Amino acid sequence: MAFGGRPEGDPTHSPVRDVDATGQGLWESRGWLARRTDEVEQLIRGVSGFVSYCLVRTADGGFSVSVFEDRAGTEESSRRAGDWIRQNAPQVAGSPPEVIEGEAILQLSN
């Protein structure tokens, strides 16, 4: 078995999204996303192959780290997140996040 209890050679897929690359909108209103965590949780947990998700606020914006069993889950989460942003935060919908993705080789959790 590999890390995280997954069979050797069966890595998870993980995108990192800079959710405020343009420095506008989502993080300006200090509690905006905090008031919508239930919506975000439902959205992400509903994607097939979901493993984990973390949304982090930084001094100049924020980023998210998702882990899915495969690339299909990653792509579906990106599609759903884009739809949700267009519906709930149209002021930043025209600025897609910068995405860095790859296969997770080590995943730890408590």
pLDDT (tens digit per residue) in 46-100? 999 999 988 887 777 778 888 999 989 999 998 998 888 888 877 766 666 778 8
CATH number at residue 99: 3.30.70
Domain count across the chain: 1
Spatial CA neighbour of 67 closest among 18, 99, 38, 104: 104
CA distances from 38 to 24, 42, 50, 51, 81 (A): 22, 6, 16, 17, 14
The answer as to whether 9 is a domain residue is no
Full domain range(s) for residue 29 = 21-104
The answer as to whether 90 is a domain residue is yes
Task: Note the pLDDT tens digit of each residue in 63-72.
Answer: 888 899 998 9
